[in-house]
Amino acid sequence: MGVVLTRGGRALTASPDGPGPLLTGDELLGPVDVVAPTLLGCWLVTDRPDGRVAVRLTEVEAYSGEGVDPASHAHRGPTPRAGIMFGPPGRLYVYFSYGVHWCANVVVGPEGRGSAVLLRAGDVVAGEELARARRPAARVVRDLARGPARLTQALAIGPDDRGADLLDPDGAVRLHRGPAPSAVSAGPRVGISRATDLPWRFWATDAASVSAFRAGGSGRGRRLPSRTGGQDGLPWTT
């Protein structure tokens, strides 16, 4: 369960047929729990040799690097794994989870802070046929990018994208403005064992691609064999 937030005056414009302008570093400089909900509605776009896929973000989680969030990879400082989290805002932090799949995060806040936003779910808004080819197990459209593993699969995000500049207009992976959802909800993060009291998961309230939270960290719906987790690496399912 969560509380509903409003975003009056924060609506972002975008064409019905395409994304808006790229985000700027200044828009990502705030505290991670403030920036995270502003990413909802934004478009994450990948251009690959086989084509373009775009996902409109519907669910994210904030992870702080300021020593107050033991669930974050950055909690112990700029380790080899988490060093990108301490880079400039707008970089893509990609990590391997369970030796099975990749998770994607947007670095936010001033350089050196170590904060990032996990991209948990979205709606495919361009390149649906290609996304279906990459996600043949998805039975319905809402499942194409529902969950962080599915999202990276639909977008073909992997280790070669680690550290990519999402704000580069010539980049293969880009983060664009998009229309904000009419309502945003907030609640506990999923699949973590530390800092479970922080309401740092944010989602578009009415989006079908968002998983519903239940005690114990499981999402709604049937249990899937592929497990993913929050940044502390413990399992959750959608």
Q: One-letter amino acid identity for 156?
A: A
- Give the number of other Cβ atoms within 10 Å of residue 99's Cβ: 5
**pLDDT tens by residue, 163-213:** 999 999 999 999 999 999 999 999 998 877 787 788 999 999 999 999 766
**pLDDT tens by residue, 106-165:** 999 999 889 999 999 999 999 999 999 999 999 999 999 999 999 999 999 999 999 999
Q: Token match 């989870």: residue?
A: 97
DSSP assignment, residue 181?
P
Is 59 inside any structural domain?
yes
Tokens of 28: 């990502």
Instruction: Find the CATH number of the domain harbouring 86.
Output: 3.10.300.10
Q: Which domain holds residue 46?
A: 3-216
Segment (H or E) for 36: helix 32-38
Is 69 inside any structural domain?
yes
Number of domains in the chain: 1
Q: Which of the pair, 88 or 218, is modelled with greater confidence?
A: 88
Is 229 inside any structural domain?
no
Is 157 inside any structural domain?
yes
Beta strands of 1-82 (E only): which ranges?
3-5, 43-48, 51-63
**pLDDT tens by residue, 5-64:** 433 333 333 444 568 999 999 999 999 999 999 999 999 999 999 999 999 999 999 999
Q: What's the half-sphere exposure (Cβ side, CA atoms, 13 Å) at 125?
A: 24
Cα angle at 236 between 233 and 238, to 5 degrees?
140
**What's the pTM?**
0.82
